[in-house]
Structure 1
Amino acid sequence: MKENSLRERLLDTAGRLFYEQGYQQTGINQIIAEAGIARGSFYYHFSSKSGLLVAYLDRFVNNWIVGADIFLAEIIDPKARIAGLIRYRIANQKKNGFNGCALVKANAGLEAVDGELRKHIGELKQQMRDYVAAVISRSGHQKILSDEALTDMVVLLADGALVGTAIYHHTEDLEKAVELITALV
């Protein structure tokens, strides 16, 4: 089997397990077993479980940004484009079982001593925020709020609504966020 496909299978399996079960609750042995690979193949691609987490989260954020670009590509109206940032999250939550934000879940599963992992998660979260800021600054929205204030509002509403999504297993809070953004933009 190609090395790249083994790596992708490990990332797919670990990503699913980290997202569904949490980082601490997922062991290397379970990942290896469910990926159907040899232990040596795991360590060939990743030096540790934390290295696998970093690779999974990096891929998650990259895929999120690419997916958002595709989702927003046909939306021209500024108000609809900004609301589309939340609608994209609604679509993802429906597709992924209403489990909330992968970055928040990963961060919550870390030990206090995992400072480097927490720092990396913060950097990834900032990449997502920067993406939202770029969409807003290019949207052509009426300047009732500054781009920075609107970015803060969208990010904070989305993050808060994602908590509700994970707790209640529905997207009503995200849908309310769309209504609020649409009313304020």
Structure 2
Amino acid sequence: MNMSTPKKRIIETASLLFHQQGYNSTGINQIISEANVAKSSFYEHFKSKDDLCIAFLNARHDYWFAELNAYCAKSKSTKKRILSAFDFIQHMNEKENFRGCSFLNTLSEISREQGAILAVIQAHKNDLRAFFEKEVGEKLLSEHIYLLFESSIIESQLFQSNELVEKAKKIVNTLI
């Protein structure tokens, strides 16, 4: 029996469903049913599906960066930390069956009117850019690595393979 709070169960269930099925393909009623909460409980915590999406993305951001930082912290040199970030993509691909980036997957499903969701997605990507800039120190090089990192996530999802992640890692190895 799940003893977590209704709000936590809602976010956990939405996270799983949004990640597996997509944002638009997941309905509130399915989330309510699978989280085993009352409809009134859902609306007590979230005014709308968009509010739930923002909570999901914020939780995903915290989880993803904690995992990335833990993965990279094992390496002592800047170069090894950057290369281990690409290993992290491969790790997440294997763990999550090449579902790609939750943020970009959601981005592809929202409309212009959903600016609050867009702002969360942009903040996540800006934090990732800042992560590489902090590691590398040089702005143009860190942007180059960021773009290779992002394209590695997308291409590995598209082709269901880590082959292009490995190629990007080799490119980064020559850049640093």
Partner residue in 1 for 2:72? 72
Q: Report 1:52-71 matches (<5 A).
A: 52-71=52-71
Matched residue of 2:37: which SS?
A: coil
User: How far off is 1:57 after superposition?
Assistant: 0.6
Q: Report 1:86-97 matches (<5 A).
A: 86-97=86-97
The alignment yields a C-alpha RMSD, in angstroms, of: 1.8
Partner residue in 2 for 1:134? 134
Q: Report 1:2-17 matches (<5 A).
A: 5-17=5-17
Partner residue in 1 for 2:114? 114
**1:168 maps to 2:159:** yes
**1:152 maps to 2:157:** no
Partner residue in 1 for 2:44? 44
**Aligned letter for 1:179?**
K
Q: Which string of whole-angstrom CA distances, capped at 9 and with x for unpartnered residues, describes residues 85-132 of structure 1? A: 111121112111101111100111102322232123112221222122
What is the rounded CA distance, in whole Å, between the counterparts of 2:98 and 2:109 in structure 1? 18
What is the rounded CA distance, in whole Å, between the counterparts of 1:25 and 1:179 in structure 2? 37
Identity value in percent = 28
Unpaired runs of 5+ residues, structure 2, are none
Partner residue in 2 for 1:141? none
Partner residue in 2 for 1:177? 168
Structure 1 segments (4+ residues) deviating >6 Å:
none
User: How far off is 1:159 after superposition?
Assistant: 1.1
What is the rounded CA distance, in whole Å, between the counterparts of 2:52 and 2:3 in structure 1? 15
What is the rounded CA distance, in whole Å, between the counterparts of 2:152 and 2:107 in structure 1? 17
User: How far off is 1:165 after superposition?
Assistant: 1.4
**Aligned letter for 1:153?**
H
What is the rounded CA distance, in whole Å, between the counterparts of 1:2 and 1:17 in structure 2? 17
Q: Is the 8 A contact 1:162 1:174 kept in 2?
A: yes
Matched residue of 2:5: which SS?
A: helix
Asked which structure has the greater RCO (Cα within 8 Å, sep 6+), the reply is 1
